[in-house]
Amino acid sequence: MGTALTTVNLKAVKARAEMHLGVHCVNVYVRDQERSLQFYVEQLGFRVAFDAKLQSGERWVAVSPPDGSAVLALIKPKPKSQEAKLIGRSTQIVFLTDDVAARFQEWSKRGVRFSSAPRLRRIKFDPETQARAAKQSLLLGVEAPIWGNAITHFRDVDGNSFTLTSYDEVTHAMEAQRLAALQRQEAERRAARELEIAWEVQARLFPQSLPPMATLEYAGMCMQARQVGGDYYDFLDLGQERLGLVLSDIAGKGIAGALLMANLQANLRSQCAIAIDQPQAFLRSVNRLFFENTTDGAYATLFFGEYDERQRRLRYVNCGHLPALLLRGSGEIERLEATSTVLGLFDRWDCDMEERQLAPGDTLVIYTDGVTESFHEHEEQFGEERLIAALQRNAERSSREIIAAVVKEVQAFSANEQQDDITLIAAKCREGSH
């Protein structure tokens, strides 16, 4: 009975989270919380951020400007405390608005006390800052930067003073950078979610159930280097006690490779009905569809094997893929070399088919170059020889265990970040009723 094993790098699937850092609140010391609350809500147009009683019985109340960019905690300190001495002084809090004059008129009508009418404050910057801000102003479509801003001061009902100022061109430039950063983060978040969805869709393209075989115990695995990839394996029920073993490596990685992989998978599964009687015609049809439905230069290497349960016979076509390895029960290794060129490059394409007789104890291993071309830190490749040695050491184990052992050795050899998809099929011939 077959076993499927599909592994993915889940770390890559998850969107990279940015560590957030912000100001929770700023304390403003007041004599009467209820009176102050009315001032901030009714006269300044702030909203109540929270209003609750603590276990100690103290009231915890805070307000926020309409955009929610800051929270002011209105604290009633104990009499004669150090905090009580801060009531009626400058809070050093600056509120930023796009139109100081309009805000001044609006709040004045509501009874807010200003120290003076708004005035223009000139600001000097170092040449580097001026040049950077001028460049940003040009990008924003501002003809000439004005190095200054409007400013005024107002007081609350307890005499606590605040500054109200407007954007200057430097602030505009900084705001543009902030908005651009937010847009980039949102785009990255959406892209990460789309990749997660793509991974979920692609995971369903791998075999979800396996045709039972009395004389063949088999497994497959794909461990992708990115969220999605171009490696593909499949097990096709060809009928009449025959199993199709498919492993392919698409030219391309990431989303591009995944789209080509999905295209090839659809072509293979839609055409596999003719494989049992005409396997070469089946592959010619797959090549034609892949050629017609992909862009110029798109291609795939592919190993297709047809296992006949009744005769324990493997017929195969190797389309420009790495040699599959047939580990005989005696320990001897046979390399199943290419019998045709790659799929998808040529409209007129044909292939030769070869066959091998299998016996109980023989193991077929098909793999992609993500196995043999994994690099050691000294730029040495894992290579075919190490793969063969790993197979011989684990020859008595199950197909699933053989795959796991090979992957473990590859990962130990190449401790750095995985650069390519790692995909394997292992199929072990065994005693059965036939």
Residue 52 burial (C-beta neighbours within 10 Å; 0-12, 13-18, 19+): exposed
Task: Read off the pLDDT of each residue in 240-251 and give the average, rounded to a whole number.
Answer: 88
Among 3.40.50.800, 3.10.180.10, 3.30.365.10, 3.40.50.880, name the CATH number for the domain at 13-192: 3.10.180.10
Given a contact cutoff of 8 angstroms between Cβ atoms, the answer to whether 83 and 66 are in contact is no
- Give the DSSP H/E element, type plus range, for residue 49: strand 47-53
Which part of the chain is CATH 3.60.40.10?
205-429
How far is 327 from 97, CA to CA, in rounded Å? 76
Given a contact cutoff of 8 angstroms between Cβ atoms, the answer to whether 242 and 307 are in contact is yes
CA atoms within 13 A on the CB side of 368: 27
Helix or strand or coil: residue 182? helix
Whether residue 171 is predicted with pLDDT greater than 50 in this model: the reply is yes
Whether residue 33 is predicted with pLDDT greater than 90 in this model: the reply is yes
Whether residue 187 is predicted with pLDDT greater than 80 in this model: the reply is yes
DSSP annotation of 270 reads: H
- Give the DSSP H/E element, type plus range, for residue 231: strand 231-239
Q: What is the pLDDT of residues 116-162, one digit of tens each?
A: 988 876 555 456 655 655 554 444 443 434 445 788 999 999 999 99
What local confidence, expressed as pLDDT, does residue 275 receive? 67
Q: Are strands 324-327 and 333-336 parallel, antiparallel or unpaired?
A: antiparallel
Q: How far is CA 239 from the centre of its chain?
A: 39
- Give the DSSP H/E element, type plus range, for residue 13: helix 10-13
Q: Strand order of the sheet with strand 354-357?
A: 231-239, 242-250, 300-308, 313-319, 354-357
How far is 108 from 374, CA to CA, in rounded Å? 72
Q: What is the pLDDT of residues 255-306, one digit of tens each?
A: 666 777 777 777 777 777 776 678 888 888 888 888 887 778 788 899 999 9
Q: What is the pLDDT of residues 50-86, one digit of tens each?
A: 899 888 888 999 999 987 778 999 999 999 999 999 9
With CA atoms as reference, report the closest residue to 430 among 347, 327, 374, 360: 360
Whether residue 1 is predicted with pLDDT greater than 90 in this model: the reply is no
User: For 205-429, which CATH superfamily applies?
Assistant: PPM-type phosphatase domain (3.60.40.10)
Helix or strand or coil: residue 419? coil
